[in-house]
Amino acid sequence: MNMNLCDVSVVKRLMSKYQTGTKKSFGQNFLINKDVPYSIASESISYHRQVCGGKKSAVIEIGPGIGSLTSELCQVYDKVFAIEIDKALIPILAETLAEYDNVSVINEDFLKINLDEFIEKNLGECTVSVCANLPYYITTPIIMALLEKARNSDGTSKLTSITVMVQREVAMRLCANEKKGDYGAITASINYYGEAKRLFDVTPDSFLPPPKVTSSVVRIELYPEPKYKVESEKMLFKVISGAFSQRRKTLINSLSSSFSNITKDKIGEIISGLGFDLNIRAEKLSIGDFCRLADEFARL
Contact 217, 39 (CB under 8 A): yes
DSSP, res 245 = T
Q: With bands split at pLDDT 50, 70 and 90, how would you rate the model's confidence at 19? A: confident
Cα dihedral sign, 271-274-280-286 = negative
Domains and CATH numbers, the chain: 8-222 (3.40.50.150), 233-298 (1.10.8.100)
Q: With bands split at pLDDT 50, 70 and 90, how would you rate the model's confidence at 24? A: low
pLDDT in tens, 245-297: 988 899 999 999 999 999 999 999 999 999 999 999 999 999 999 999 999 99
Kindly give, in sequence order, each residue whose CB lies less than 8 Å from that of residue 89, ignoring residues fewer than 6 positions away: 20, 64, 65, 66
pLDDT in tens, 173-211: 999 988 777 899 999 999 999 999 999 999 999 998 898
Which ranges in 6-52 belong to alpha helices (H)? 8-17, 35-52
Secondary structure class of 241 (helix, strand, coil): helix
Contact 11, 207 (CB under 8 A): no
Average pLDDT, rounded, for the chain: 93
Cβ burial of 78 (10 Å; 0-12, 13-18, 19+) is: middle
Q: Which of 137, 131, 142 is nearest to 164 (CA)?
A: 131
Q: Which of 136, 228, 218, 143 is nearest to 176 (CA)?
A: 218
Q: Cα–Cα distance between 128 and 123 in angstroms, integer?
A: 8
Find how far residue 260's CA is from the centre of its chain: 32
Find how far residue 4's CA is from the centre of its chain: 27
pLDDT in tens, 75-118: 999 999 999 999 999 999 999 999 999 999 999 999 999 998 99
Buried-exposed string 199-237: b where 16+ CB fall within 10 A, e elsewhere: beebeeebbbeebeeebbbbbbbbbeeeebebeebebbb
Q: Cα–Cα distance between 170 and 140 in angstroms, integer?
A: 9
Q: With bands split at pLDDT 50, 70 and 90, how would you rate the model's confidence at 21? A: low
Contact 97, 73 (CB under 8 A): no
